[in-house]
Structure 1
Amino acid sequence: MHKMIHSDGKKLSRGFDKLMLAVNIPSLTAATALSIIYLLIIRRSGVPDDFFKLYITCFFMTCAYSFTVSVIVAVITNLRLSGHKKYTYIEILGEQMVISRYVRSSAGEKGLTVYRRLWVMDLSDVEQVTCTGRRVIIKGKARYFEAPANWLDYSCTENGRAEFDYHWYDEYGGEEVTQASFPDSFFYAERVAQRIIFCSEKQKRREIRRKEFRQRMLEIAARRRARKKPKERVFRGYEIERKF
């Protein structure tokens, strides 16, 4: 039942494209105004040298601003896209589900540190999955973590559960929450929600069958003990009742 659902890079890129357009609106506005000034004033009639120098200065400042903010946004975009590509996903392990979300990257003495959020949830505890268009909300008891990404590395056990490399997190880490809520960055989130619900229902049925089997075995063992009679042995002509 293992399933890895990665984030959609194209969907994330559209959000960063909107950011690139927003930060360039001032430069686009200034460029439009400079074009109108050139067509209506400078091209039709002569202007003083001081005015022309001011016009050229404004033109180059507009170009410098647009270039600077475009480079900064492009660097941030590439950094965040690479972080989302690696750390934003939903992984269905078997008995548990892990939801990982990239948060940010920060520079420190030891280099670049990546932070992420993590929700670990038993599939049998999933109550409802909601897609609002912008967010995905999974209701159910879960453990919530936010720490450097390498601190939250984990592996999947044979039983389909998450086991952290730092074993301290298995027992004491995380905060108890009642839902996992995160931005929708997946292709066709409704299909993802259907998959989660399907795996949750399958795990719930498996646990019901497991409990029924255990109860049936206990009843069989109890009936065998009830049918068992005390043994009697004859020793030198005397009957000795053996009670166990």
Structure 2
Amino acid sequence: MSMPFYVAPEQQMKDKADYARKGIARGRSAVVLQYEGGILMVADNMSRTLHKISELYDRIGFAAVGRYPEFENLRLMGVRFADVRGYQFDRRDVSGRQLANIYAQTLGTVFSESLKPWEVEIVVAEVGDTAAEDEIYRITFDGSIVDEQGYVAVGGSSEHVAGVLKERFESGSSLSAALNTATHALAHENGEERELEAGNLEVAVLERSRQHRKFRRIHGDRLTALIQQGKSGDAAGASAGTDTADGEADQD
């Protein structure tokens, strides 16, 4: 008589977590960060139809990495919840915190009860009337939820990307400067620099000054101009820093 195969619960959870992390690591990263006019969302994504960044509701955006069918199901679930709640009560009763909690509960249930965890990592962002009221939530494959401040990176090499963001992020940056920070971080995703063109990027903003629906995609000539403007500002800043250093050296 064969003995039943037994795996300790701790080992099962570890195996599931390793499986999900490996699946997520195969994809490219995405970043979400504040700028002077709201919240910027940038993903390394060459597809023009399979979006990693989307609108959930009036003030709320969604960014995801991992398996597209899985995070697309989550996006649709969030849109349906927001539409129903906004219709039954009031549009102001729909919040990013509610959606983040629902996503966390769903992913936590799948992770603990299903044989296969979902290979996804998502961000729910809500733009407020002021920068202090902005909310950015990161939800991982096991249902963990973190309230992020200022910026967040998700995806395969998010540690490298987050490290670059930490060095370069400045609160209250212009849109072009924030985009330059985001693209620079994504270009160093694997610890090695690579060139990122406009065609490799999916970019959207939650724009504080817009009426009603705050979500707006940025692409085409507008995106190319912002990228060039950000690079020009970065180069000018580096040149100014060099001039200052030379001046200080002359004074010595």
TM-score normalised by structure 2 residue count: 0.28
Higher strand share: 1
Structure label with greater radius of gyration? 1
TM-score (norm 1): 0.29
